Structure 1
């Protein structure tokens, strides 16, 4: 079962990134336009930590936005020294950062190891070289492989971030990226549907009708087998969809694309609905079912606005469906107060991938 982590997200100014990808406007995404002084960083961290109540939960400072290892070396070290102050005081347990694959080398990793960084996330987006070129990424897929191998050699945890719906990308290419991620053995992955953000070249392409963004239903359809693939391979999917901010929301800087504040729920609830439907379809005359669910999965099983519950009642003509939150990570279904079965979600994911022939 996934362990909870309290994250202190520190957004690094965009000047660490050497080029602008066509989909990117980090000033809009991070909501920071200017550099910030180190005292402001300390005040921000202090304020954020003050909201953490449970001392037993791991606490982590995460440097996001731009490319952390691409900023001026003295600035990067200053940020790391501040994070280490909190580690030395016992207020923070670990550090993570995000950066570009082509901004990883032995010298950088030696510095990051010295300053107790635990996790390095690479903004990969795609493992297809044509897609990378079309989106002006400035590196190729081999750079990702080299950086990932080096990160493993230095014994950091590896995170990989991918996007779906990129310019010149498609469903099959996105799934191939996920399969190549598996080969690189990441500890965590993030999946981001492409959004059209104000003041980007992608917005220009969109307005010229040269780029068509995914809608939410299509994005969910593409992500489901990718998510299943990662889960079958015991890789933690730490996030699906961009975190809503002052700018990244339906009334903010998102011009078009599949934005949803709870994208992960859309994906997981559909997969759980399909799993429950598959398991229940072998039984006849179901009058009542009782489902025991880990508390962390309850909203996904029941569905937004109880959509899954309503669907199953109608699909199988069930008079009563009830749920109970339990400890652990297993899901049990009791049918008509008699037959109790375990829903093996990992096995369902395997079968799901075989049926999809992906």
Structure 2
């Protein structure tokens, strides 16, 4: 990611499971962070120094992840933040960033975070459906998220909202509702995480007992794409979609079900690209059919298939921003393959244009006799 022409980088500091008395059905921090003990301040300092040696000409944030940061003792919060703040004060780090639970936010906590130079607070809302939260053993309600969000914004922090897809009791409708409710809180950023069934969790036991069925990959992609569009249309920066492969560490068998994919974000953004490009290609294809009919090639209503001659086609250039070029093509080229099979009278080329916004597309059409008529 780039901001103001500079690469934007985050130094992650994992504080596994500290501060959280709850046992959410999906949670196994040992698997997610691959750590068994919280780092001390010297380790945090060493981690930051090591990362900084690899980050040149970048805007750098230090982010505390992995547990409920504001649930740990105040003196421990301050000790970690003292280490991070000295890098911010020196100018080598631009922001301090942390994640926590909605029910671990109050005025005293926020005063301390502000005094230590924290800029961004992400809330693990997960859902705005209270039934889903209860079935997931979250220990908080949707109203807790609303209250904490308003308080965070009143103190001048940037707000982030994390949502999960496919929790127990979830549905596509409740996920879409959660995205719409998140927008009402006016966060600056969001993360979308399809639920992954990890070993050594209650969710895994529910899965084994037939009490929980993970989303199929197709269901997860379709629902996440719906949520992504809602958040993106509201101008909310979507920092992550799905877990990175390095976020889930285990000796085989850690991931169960078929929801997880290492390039999940590309699957979602590729789906969004496909749904935006298809109507543009359908219009071009109708134009090609009309031209073919005018030329006496085939009747405009003839079924498309192997008997369609290729000696009258349209050359179609589909443009995206450079950053979205791979999404336009689709993961493993799935969009390109689909369009080639669906639009037989189009000779499609894929190109990038730096003047196009990310997530937007343009189609340029002109008649082009095929080089190899059928």
* TM-score for both structures, normalised by structure 2: 0.85
1:89-168 → structure 2 map (5 Å cutoff): 89-168=90-169
The answer on 1:37 being equivalent to 2:40 is: yes
1:177-188 → structure 2 map (5 Å cutoff): 177-188=178-189
Counterpart Cα distance in 2 of 1:325 and 1:45 = 37
Match of 1:341 in 2: none
Alpha-carbon spacing, 1:163–1:249, altered in 2? closer, same or farther (3 Å): farther
Match of 1:20 in 2: 23
Match of 1:351 in 2: none
Q: Any stretches of 5+ residues in structure 1 without a counterpart?
A: 339-358
Question: Highest CA radius of gyration, 1 or 2?
Answer: 2
The answer on 1:309 being equivalent to 2:336 is: yes
1:1-358 → structure 2 map (5 Å cutoff): 3=3, 4-53=7-56, 55=57, 57-245=58-246, 247-248=248-249, 251=252, 253-283=254-284, 284-285=287-288, 286-318=313-345, 320-330=347-357, 331-336=361-366
Alpha-carbon spacing, 1:95–1:130, altered in 2? closer, same or farther (3 Å): same
The 10-residue stretch of structure 1 (120-129 or 238-247) with the greater mean CA deviation from structure 2 = 238-247
Counterpart Cα distance in 2 of 1:200 and 1:328 = 47
Instruction: Kindly report structure 1 stretches of 4+ aligned residues shifted beyond 4 Å.
Output: none
Residue 325 (structure 1) shift: 2.9
Q: What is the count of residue pairs matched by the alignment?
A: 336
Residue 249 (structure 1) shift: 7.2
* TM-score for both structures, normalised by structure 1: 0.89
- Which secondary structure state, in structure 1, belongs to the residue aligned with residue 187 of structure 2? coil
CA RMSD, 1 decimal: 1.9
Counterpart Cα distance in 2 of 1:258 and 1:15 = 28
Residue 293 (structure 1) shift: 2.2
**Contact in 2 for aligned 1:95/1:117 (Cα 8 Å):** yes
Match of 1:343 in 2: none
Residue 36 (structure 1) shift: 1.4
The 10-residue stretch of structure 1 (35-44 or 137-146) with the greater mean CA deviation from structure 2 = 35-44
Residue 292 (structure 1) shift: 2.9
Counterpart Cα distance in 2 of 1:254 and 1:167 = 17
Alpha-carbon spacing, 1:47–1:145, altered in 2? closer, same or farther (3 Å): same
Match of 1:349 in 2: none
Alpha-carbon spacing, 1:246–1:289, altered in 2? closer, same or farther (3 Å): same
- Which secondary structure state, in structure 2, belongs to the residue aligned with residue 282 of structure 1? helix
**Contact in 2 for aligned 1:250/1:259 (Cα 8 Å):** no
**Contact in 1 for aligned 2:188/2:237 (Cα 8 Å):** yes
Q: Any stretches of 5+ residues in structure 2 without a counterpart?
A: 289-312, 369-374
- Which secondary structure state, in structure 1, belongs to the residue aligned with residue 82 of structure 2? helix
